[in-house]
Homo-oligomer: A and B are copies of this chain.
């Protein structure tokens, strides 16, 4: 059975709301952030629709944003792997061609012994970050490959290597701690040895170029090359657009061929953008970052507030009268763990033929008993299409 053979166009509108890192983990002491939030509008969607729990990559597996979003888009994250370099490049609108190697770089502060003393080089502002990046552009010259540097934000830069015979199979050089030197550039396959030598030389030149700066070192993560992902519109028969304030999420959306509508940070501006483009698309991916950021910061109250902030614009979304709304997350980010976790993510599907279940509140303990059950996240895309009446019957 090929989903593509079942597609039928009917003019319906679908919206996927991703509250990044939405899932939590209740403890004996406290409910999850979503359970604790006052979110009457999300609760109303739960009443009007069906609910459940989803797992992006199976039992016990904690995923990053890349695989989490691919799963939400209905792409098996085991089949389509994305490195941080690829995601960053896509987020900046930089096209990688086959053979290129991209990596996410973090400017850091090194002491006289070469040990990392600040993993974020004092979080340079946009101007300072761009100035340091410009120094890299001017100071690094490699034999056999061209090195491009792009400033992403704060201490984060994107490195793109273009040339012949490059291989992305290199280990991260970011030790992710202070008091130690950056890791050696280590090839993970024999074919990547010459690329490892090239990057070793690059890192050396970076230190020369940035000598005396607060950001005087560069650690690299997520070496990757270009990936061909099946086109979302071809795959699902919907014209798709993205509203996301953060580059990485615009990146993963553009990698599957979605249009990127803009990058406003305020939820109200995001709704305005949806409204302006409402007639131009069939499917909208709306990304809300604040839930995950608060989770990473270990700030339970901020995560609750981020849920409540999104709840506040749900009536504006409903007013646009989408046929089908899904609210879910790419993974869990319980504040008590200050990072991603493996816990299933509460999810609702409202509208079209979805029907209702008995769940009256949006939150883990209620959604567990909902009509969607516990499913792989990849099931949401066919469920959305089905609820919207966009899937024909299979077989006689």
Interface residues of A (CB under 8 A from B): 1, 6, 25-28, 48, 53, 57-68, 77-78, 81-84, 87, 104, 221-222, 334, 337, 339-344, 353-358, 364-365, 368-371, 373-375, 379-380, 382-387, 391-396
Contacts and interface: CB of A to CB of B under 8 A. Distances in A.
Contacts of A340: 393
Contacts of A396: 64-66, 82-84, 87, 104, 221-222
Nearest to A25: B355
Q: Which of A68, A221, A371 has the most CB of B within 10 A?
A: A371
A373 B368 contact: yes
A292 to B, nearest CB: 13
Contacts of A62: 386, 391-394
A61 B386 contact: yes
A249 to B, nearest CB: 12
Given A6-B61, A60-B383, 19 more contacts: A1-B57, A25-B353, A28-B356, A60-B382, A60-B387, A62-B391, A63-B393, A64-B394, A64-B395, A67-B394, A68-B395, A77-B394, A82-B395, A221-B396, A342-B383, A342-B386, A342-B391, A344-B371, A364-B371
Contacts of A370: 368
B395 A53 contact: no
Nearest to A374: B373
A386 B60 contact: yes
B368 A58 contact: no
B61 A1 contact: yes
Contacts of A48: 28
Contacts of A84: 396
Tell me if A's interface is mostly helix, strand, loop or mixed. loop
Nearest to A52: B374
A64 B392 CA distance: 10
A58 B395 contact: no
A251 B200 CA distance: 50
Given A368-B373, A369-B369, A371-B344, A393 B59 contact: no
B353 A385 contact: no
Contacts of A343: 353, 355
Q: Which of A66, A67, A368 has the most CB of B within 10 A?
A: A368
Contacts of A371: 344, 364, 368
Contacts of A387: 60
A340 B389 CA distance: 12
A392 B60 CA distance: 10
B365 A358 contact: yes
Contact of A395 (B67, B382, B386): B67
Contacts of A28: 48, 356
